[in-house]
């Protein structure tokens, strides 16, 4: 600022103050206030509505104008670079009155980037105070600056400044921050905001976000130490901390897996150790809760008046309470049960978690009571009589009668009562009848007598079974057992002596049989293979079987039944060959069966078996005894067969193009392939394949252990006429093309060009042109002189 300019300003100011007309100065500034960024251009117009005046002017340290006789005068600066400039416009009237009006001017600058710094380098501890500083460089005017601190999207602190300085400064804002664990991973930033409204902009800029890492803990929180069975230790306590604590559970000093569900046996004192920012240990008494469990027998049987050991076992934590109910009323079981205590009981046990119940059926056993309703009887021959035996007991008594068994006597048990009916009574029904009522606790008996008047005697011998099964036992009978080594031809007779009847007898008709010791199958020539379409003879040997006349032989190929074979005797037990007649001998013998079959290649690998079955008739065992031999595997050999589909009899070969001959043959054993050809031929042979390029006869021979097969191939050499045919086709195409072009040229001349002639031209009456011969279309042709 020059000294003269400063002097003028001071002088003008003093004059205006002295005159006291500043308040009514007829000057208008447009705009009245300006906000300009440092270094930007500025333009403000000063005008007056007065007509009589000496002039107006601008006084400013940058861009001042001095007095000029105009009614409006702009103050303009292309680049405003003075922070303290205070421009004002002054006015001088004809009456030497002067006034001025100062422009409200704000010059600002705002940084493009701001930064944030803090005490922690990476991590902060919970509840410890930290200081962060926001750096805002080269900012003015600072009194218009507001600094906002954000945690995430929430403002947590605001700074304003009352510094009136107009020049730019490096401003800072400090934040004292005490983090909590909820602040972990929060984003901290500061924002510089400058409000220059209403005449200027609203500016703001933020720092990069500062990621907060808060370390704390570890903290152990155990709301309860009671845990349900099948829950885990991880569900008891919550361990928090950053860094994430390493948690370890210990019991009796040994580590345990907290993810394993607990059982009731795992209750006890545990130590929870958490290692993180520090190491924390907590002793935890763990109680495992589980619902009641009740173990009772579903049924219980006790003997009347005897001490019982009926108990129900209950388990649970807390300890459950068990109650017994019968017919809806709570009861207590007596030490000794009577028949009145029998029935169904409802047992329930419960604790704080749940309740369970079981139904127990108690049965009280007692012996049968004395038999009633059984009395002596007398009946005429041919009449019927009932004997009734009745008793009470638990379990319900069973009844048995002791008397001479006869076919006309029927016993029936119904509703706890046993009845014996003698129908058409005979002399054999006379005697004593004893009824016994019994159960597992005891028994009672009662004997009565039945008298029969008149009867005809019969031998009451009964052999059971009457054909083969010799076992049967009665108190008044004899059991006979057969010796399978010497009783083959026995004819046993049963004798009995009955009181009042005398001695009588019966002969037993029986069959003594024996299953074979072994059943084997073999090839008659001791070979395991056969040639296709030749007869195969197999023999089945059955060792030590009886009786041979009841023996049936069945032959099988795989699961297919072939036929039943005849049986031939091979050896007798006796040395006398005259007795070796299958239809007569009953002792065990060795027999065999032979079968002849013809096989083909499809039967190779088949298993052959024979089965020996004893058909002992309706009195024999069911099912009939049978013995199966082990399988005999037969391999079928067959001669080679050459595949003529791949190797036809005649094969053409074009000159210069070799052909591959493939000789394949099927046979068992696998055949060997051999090619035979004339010695003047030179084909290439490789693994049964022959590559030929010459005409001739080529013999393929396939040979195995069964036979050999020969296949003759005739190779015919042919010329390849394909190149000649292709050349002929090309020449033909060229000739046709030339003919086509010639015809087209003639067509074009006659159709498109038509025919023009200069001989005897006809002049057009309209245009003086030569007319087209014979056509109406005129062509613009000039007449030739």
DSSP 226-277: EEETT--GGGT-EEEEESPPEEEEEETTEEE-TTSPP-GGG-EEEEEEEESS
pLDDT at 24 over 70: yes
Residue linked to tokens 């991973």:
185
**639-718: CATH topology:** Immunoglobulin-like (2.60.40)
For residues 391-398, give the mean pLDDT: 91
Q: Say which residues have a Cβ less than 8 Å from residue 117's Cβ, sequence separation at least 6.
A: 132, 133, 135
**Domain ranges in the chain?**
28-108, 115-212, 217-289, 296-365, 377-453, 518-634, 639-718
632 with 607: CB under 8 angstroms? yes
Least confident of 255-269, 456-470, 593-607, 679-693: 456-470
Task: State which CATH number among 3.30.450.20, 1.10.240.10, 2.60.40.10, 3.10.20.600 fits the domain covering 115-212.
Answer: 2.60.40.10
pLDDT digits (tens, 9 = 90+) for 514-530: 888 899 988 877 666 78
**377-453: CATH topology:** Immunoglobulin-like (2.60.40)
Task: State which CATH number among 2.60.200.20, 3.30.565.10, 2.60.40.10, 1.10.3720.10 fits the domain covering 28-108.
Answer: 2.60.40.10
Using 50, 70 and 90 to split pLDDT, how confident is the model at 772? Answer: very low
Cα–Cα distances in angstroms (integers) from residue 249 to residues 256, 279, 282, 285, 307, in the given order: 6, 13, 10, 12, 51
For residues 212-219, give the mean pLDDT: 89
Q: Give the 3-state secondary structure of 152-212.
A: CCEEEEEEECCCCCCCCEEEEEEEEECCCHHHCCCEEEEEEEEECCCCCCEEEEECCCEEC
For residues 407-429, give the mean pLDDT: 90
For residues 412-425, give the mean pLDDT: 92
Q: Determine the Cα–Cα distance for residues 358 and 294; give it in Å rounded to an integer.
A: 7
**Bridge partners, 615 (sequence order):** none
Phi, psi for residue 678 in degrees, rounded to 5? -65, 145
Q: Which pLDDT belongs to residue 375? A: 92
pLDDT at 421 over 90: yes
Rg over alpha carbons for the chain, rounded to the nearest Å, is 66
Hey, is 7 helix, strand or coil?
A: helix
Least confident of 217-221, 391-395, 694-698, 718-722: 718-722
Hey, is 620 helix, strand or coil?
A: coil
Q: Which pLDDT belongs to residue 528? A: 65
Give first-to-last CA distance, the chain, whole Å.
Answer: 105
> Hey, what CATH class is 296-365 in?
mainly beta
Q: Which pLDDT belongs to residue 501? A: 41
Least confident of 1-5, 293-297, 382-386, 699-703: 1-5
pLDDT at 720 over 60: yes
196 with 204: CB under 8 angstroms? no
381 with 454: CB under 8 angstroms? yes
Mean pLDDT in the chain? 82
Token code pair at residue 372: 């009633």
Q: Which pLDDT belongs to residue 11? A: 45
Q: Say which residues have a Cβ less than 8 Å from residue 109's Cβ, sequence separation at least 6.
A: 37, 38, 138, 139, 140, 168
Rounded to two decimals, the pTM is 0.41
Q: Which pLDDT belongs to residue 523? A: 84
Using 50, 70 and 90 to split pLDDT, how confident is the model at 574? Answer: very low
- Phi-psi map region of 39: left, alpha, beta (phi>0 left; psi -120 to 50 alpha): left
Q: Which pLDDT belongs to residue 578? A: 47
Q: Determine the Cα–Cα distance for residues 255 and 662; give it in Å rounded to an integer.
A: 76
> What is 217-289's CATH superfamily?
Immunoglobulins (2.60.40.10)
Token code pair at residue 673: 């392939």
Least confident of 180-189, 383-392, 592-601: 592-601
pLDDT digits (tens, 9 = 90+) for 34-55: 999 999 999 999 998 888 788 8
In this structure, are strands 708-718 and 650-654 parallel, antiparallel, or unpaired? parallel
Task: State which CATH number among 3.90.1150.10, 2.60.40.10, 3.40.50.10330, 1.10.3720.10 fits the domain covering 518-634.
Answer: 2.60.40.10
Q: Which pLDDT belongs to residue 487? A: 63
Q: Determine the Cα–Cα distance for residues 437 and 371; give it in Å rounded to an integer.
A: 7
Using 50, 70 and 90 to split pLDDT, how confident is the model at 753? Answer: low
Q: Determine the Cα–Cα distance for residues 326 and 55; give it in Å rounded to an integer.
A: 127
Token code pair at residue 382: 């041919």
CATH topology agreement for domains 115-212 and 296-365 = yes
Q: Report angle CA 218, 224, 227 to the nearest 5 degrees.
A: 110
C-beta contacts of 673-682 below 8 A and 24+ residues apart: 673/700, 673/701, 673/702, 674/700, 674/701, 674/703, 675/699, 675/700, 675/701, 676/701
Cα–Cα distances in angstroms (integers) from residue 170 to residues 109, 191, 201, in the given order: 11, 15, 21
**Bridge partners, 776 (sequence order):** none
Q: Determine the Cα–Cα distance for residues 47 and 214; give it in Å rounded to an integer.
A: 64
Using 50, 70 and 90 to split pLDDT, how confident is the model at 158? Answer: very high
Nearest Cα to 364, choosing from 333, 385, 348, 340?
340
For residues 72-77, give the mean pLDDT: 92
In this structure, are strands 385-390 and 417-422 parallel, antiparallel, or unpaired? antiparallel
Q: Determine the Cα–Cα distance for residues 338 and 306; give it in Å rounded to an integer.
A: 9
């Amino acid at each position: 600022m020059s000294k003269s300019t400063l002097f003028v300003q001071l002088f003008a100011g003093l004059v205006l103050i002295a005159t006291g007309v500043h308040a009514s100065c007829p000057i208008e500034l447009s705009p009245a206030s300006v906000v300009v960024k440092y270094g930007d251009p500025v333009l403000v117009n000063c005008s007056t509505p007065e007509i009589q005046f000496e002039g107006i002017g601008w006084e400013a340290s940058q861009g001042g104008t001095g007095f000029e006789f105009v009614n409006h005068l702009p103050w303009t600066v292309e680049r405003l670079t003075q922070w303290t400039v205070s421009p004002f416009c002054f006015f001088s009237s004809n009456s030497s009155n002067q006034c001025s009006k100062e422009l409200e001017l704000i010059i600002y600058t705002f940084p493009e980037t701001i930064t944030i710094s803090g005490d922690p380098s990476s991590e902060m501890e919970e509840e410890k105070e930290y200081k962060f500083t926001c750096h805002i460089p080269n900012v003015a005017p600072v009194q218009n600056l507001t600094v906002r601190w954000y945690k995430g999207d929430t403002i947590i602190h605001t700074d304003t400044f009352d510094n009136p300085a107009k020049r730019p400064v490096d401003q800072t804002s400090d934040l004292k921050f005490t983090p909590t664990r909820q602040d972990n991973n929060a984003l901290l930033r500061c924002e510089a905001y400058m409000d220059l409204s209403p005449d200027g902009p609203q500016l703001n800029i933020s720092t990069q976000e500062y990621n907060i890492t808060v370390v704390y803990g570890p903290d152990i929180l155990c709301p309860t130490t009671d845990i349900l069975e099948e829950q885990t230790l991880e569900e008891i306590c919550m361990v928090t901390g950053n860094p994430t604590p390493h948690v370890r559970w210990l019991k009796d000093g040994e580590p345990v897996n907290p993810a394993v569900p607990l059982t009731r046996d795992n209750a006890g004192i545990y130590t929870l150790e958490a290692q993180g920012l520090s190491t924390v240990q907590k002793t935890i008494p763990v109680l495992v809760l589980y619902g009641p469990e009740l173990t009772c027998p579903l049924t219980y049987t006790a003997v009347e008046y005897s001490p019982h050991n009926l108990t129900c076992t209950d388990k649970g934590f807390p300890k459950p309470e068990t109650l017994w109910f019968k017919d809806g009323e709570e009861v207590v079981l007596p030490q000794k049960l009577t028949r009145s205590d029998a029935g169904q009981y409802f047992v329930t046990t419960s604790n704080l978690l749940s309740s369970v119940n079981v139904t127990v059926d108690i049965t009280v056993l007692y012996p049968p009571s004395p038999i009633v309703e059984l009395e002596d009887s007398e009946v005429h021959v041919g009449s019927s009589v009932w004997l009734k035996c009745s008793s009470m007991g638990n379990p319900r008594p069973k009844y048995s009668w002791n008397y001479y068994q006869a076919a006309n006597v029927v016993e029936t048990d119904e509703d706890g009562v046993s009845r014996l009916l003698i129908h058409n009574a005979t002399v054999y029904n006379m005697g004593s009848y004893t009824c016994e009522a019994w159960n597992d606790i005891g028994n009672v008996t009662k004997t009565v007598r039945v008298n029969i008047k008149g009867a005809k005697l019969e031998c009451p011998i009964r052999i059971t079974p009457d054909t083969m099964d010799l076992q049967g036992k009665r108190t008044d009978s004899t059991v006979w057992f057969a010796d399978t080594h010497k009783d083959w031809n026995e004819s046993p007779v049963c004798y009995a002596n009955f009181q009042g009847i005398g001695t009588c007898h019966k002969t037993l008709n029986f069959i003594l049989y024996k299953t074979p010791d072994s059943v084997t199958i073999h090839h008659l020539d001791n070979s395991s293979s056969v040639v296709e379409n030749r007869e195969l003879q197999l023999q089945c040997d059955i060792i030590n079987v009886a009786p041979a006349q009841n023996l049936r032989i069945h032959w099988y190929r795989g699961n297919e039944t072939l036929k039943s074979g005849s049986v031939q005797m091979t050896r007798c037990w006796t040395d006398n060959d005259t007795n070796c007649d299958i239809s007569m001998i009953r002792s065990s013998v060795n027999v065999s069966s032979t079968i002849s079959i013809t096989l083909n290649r499809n039967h190779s690998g088949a298993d052959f078996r024979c089965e020996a079955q004893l058909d002992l008739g309706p009195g024999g065992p069911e099912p009939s005894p049978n013995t199966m031999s082990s399988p005999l595997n037969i391999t079928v050999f067959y001669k080679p067969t050459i595949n003529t589909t791949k190797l036809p009899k005649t094969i053409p070969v074009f000159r210069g193009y070799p052909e591959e001959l493939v000789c394949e043959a099927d046979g068992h054993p696998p055949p060997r392939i051999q090619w035979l050809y004339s010695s003047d031929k030179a084909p290439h042979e490789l693994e049964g394949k022959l590559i030929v390029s010459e005409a001739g006869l080529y013999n393929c021979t396939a040979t195995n252990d069964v036979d050999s097969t020969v296949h003759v191939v005739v190779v015919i050499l042919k010329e390849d006429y394909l190149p000649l045919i292709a050349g002929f086709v090309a020449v033909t195409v060229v000739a046709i093309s030339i003919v086509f072009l010639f015809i087209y040229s003639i067509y074009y001349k006659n159709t498109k060009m038509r025919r023009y002639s200069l001989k005897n031209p006809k002049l057009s009456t309209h245009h003086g042109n030569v007319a087209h011969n014979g056509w109406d279309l005129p062509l613009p042709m000039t007449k030739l002189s």
